[in-house]
A and B are shown apart, each in its own frame.
Chain A
Amino acid sequence: MKHFQTIAQPGLQDTMKTGGCGECQSSCQSACKTSCTVANQSCAKKEQVLIAGRDGKTNRIAGR
């Protein structure tokens, strides 16, 4: 295709079956404390993925 590029695959509904473990961070604890933004939180099940970041510059690093 020339005119459409897939940036994110459809599949959000699939996570309904696999998700919900509740181990991820409460969004309000991350920085905001007033403005609810949930979609930028990481999934605790996945490797501590970078969020639009670069190696070593994530704000979510597993373990101490």
Chain B
Amino acid sequence: MVHLFKALGQAVALDVGSGGVYALDDAAYDALSYLLERPDSPDVEILNALAERYTGEQAAEILAELREMIRLGYLFTPDEEPEFAVKTAGIVKAMCIHAAHDCNLRCKYCFADAGEYHSRNRALLPPETGKKALDWLVKKSGSRYNLEVDFFGGEPMLNFPAIREIVAYGRELEKKFHKRFKFTVTTNAVNLNDEMIEFLNLEMDNVVLSIDGRPEVHDRMRPTANGKGSYDLIIGRAKRLAELRGQQRYFIRGTYTRYNLDFANDVLHLADEGFEQLSIEPVVTDAKHDYALRPEDLPRIGEEYERLGREYIKRRQDGRWFNFFHFMLDLTGGPCLQKRLTGCGAGNEYVAVTPGGELYPCHQFVGRENMRMGSVLDETFDEGIQERFKNNHVLSKEKCRSCWARFYCSGGCAANAHAFSGDIGKPYDMECRLERKRLECAMAIYVLEHKEKAISGVPEDNLKT
């Protein structure tokens, strides 16, 4: 399968099966476009079509190059499904620890219901439960060295003493079992003080700070418990943390909604505030809400990603460098195919633990019926659910078979699929459509930023074959 598209004014061809990515000029785009629409066209037909825009000599040259790309296996590689079996069955290596089912904000789009996860029960994770969770993870991780633990909530920093204790315990386990814990935290930054910032910058491999962008955008969706805006409370603390981390290993993670379809302005606001690691992502919520994104918004959102992409390239060139999570794409050193097939690993190699020690396939599944996998307290674990999630890889999803993006999104978010269709194997359509647009922009940005260093056509070694 070949996916041909234009984004940010750049024509790009992706050979889906092989991962080959090519920058095309307009002539190559026209030729390949014709061939994709009429796959069995003889050369004479393609030449005739090209003759409408190009001289006979030019048309012949373009077609010769296209045929050579195909002959060398750079385009239209067979869509054979790789022989695939998950190598890591039974191993769990990543965990989301819900340090607090409580929160000091009342964000309107919160899937966690102000931190309570629909349980009507505010709770803080006891340190002993957190330690048992780490013990459980070490046991389930087999020979895996790198283990990931994210402190999540609600607002996890409401339970800072427990986090500190659990991290210290994890460092002991590292020595005892030859493991490496990569701790991370997702926080709204409301109560961060200097002591906490120092601790997080010492111990956390990554810190995710929730800020939506411009003050009015942020305050509208992220009020405090007494209904006031939270932007002024957090912005200084977040800046301090980011600066003290050397602008590395953190993300400002915001959410855009139907209220701010001009979300590029929010990304750029955060960049103007000096943050260099940014991620502003679409809200996922029930369509009944005013702020839910609608299918008819997609063209506008697509244009906004393009606008952001153009400004992104410009700023990265003129000394105002920043990173945008959904434009990050490593086309030459990215993950292996095995990883691309298995995706986020929820329910298989990644689980969430509640303050009560209960296990769920991921943080999004917490509280959902029939999704409780067990408990770290009594060490029960439903391997049937794990098996179900293990087998929910991209090749098993009907909808993904015909999608060019399948090796980039890996079949999407199981929790979103489950929330909208009741089936973890049926990806949520809005998410797919947004993902494809973001990927097109990300690939075009990569092309535009790497074109000068790129190889003209194919490497000479291959041309000799």
Query: A residues bordering B, Cβ < 8 Å?
Result: 1-13, 15-16, 18-20, 22-44, 46, 49, 51-54, 56-61, 64
* A49 neighbours in B (Cβ, 8 Å): 330, 333
A/B interface sample: 16 pairs, CB < 8 A: A3-B27, A3-B62, A4-B65, A4-B456, A5-B22, A6-B22, A10-B18, A10-B73, A11-B20, A29-B150, A30-B251, A33-B253, A36-B409, A40-B328, A42-B334, A51-B323
Is the C-beta of B159 less than 8 angstroms from some C-beta in chain A?
Answer: no
Chain A residues with CB below 8 A from B336, complex form: 15-16, 18-20, 43
The 7 closest A-B pairs by CB, nearest first: A19-B336, A1-B457, A12-B19, A10-B18, A10-B20, A20-B338, A3-B28
B416 A34 Cβ-Cβ under 8 A: yes
Bound together, the chains give a CA A61 to CA B412 distance in angstroms of 26
Give the residue among B18, B24, B152, B184 with the most A Cβ atoms within 10 A: B18
Chain B interface (Cβ < 8 Å from any Cβ of A): 12-13, 15, 17-25, 27-28, 31, 61-62, 65-66, 68-69, 73-74, 77, 82-84, 87-88, 91, 93-94, 96, 111, 144-146, 148, 150, 152, 182, 184, 186, 205-206, 208, 246-251, 253, 276-277, 279, 281-282, 284, 321, 323, 325-340, 343-346, 349-350, 362-364, 407-413, 415-416, 431, 434-435, 438-439, 442, 445-447, 449-451, 454-459
Contacts of A29 in B (CB 8 A): 94, 96, 148, 150, 184, 206, 350
Asked whether A25 lies within 8 Å of B182 as measured between CB atoms, the reply is yes
Dominant SS among interface residues on chain A? loop
Across the interface, which residues of A come within 8 angstroms of B84, CB to CB? 16
Cβ-neighbour of B19 out of A8, A18, A41, A61 (below 8 A) = A8
Known: A19-B335, A40-B329. A5 touches B253 (CB 8 A): no
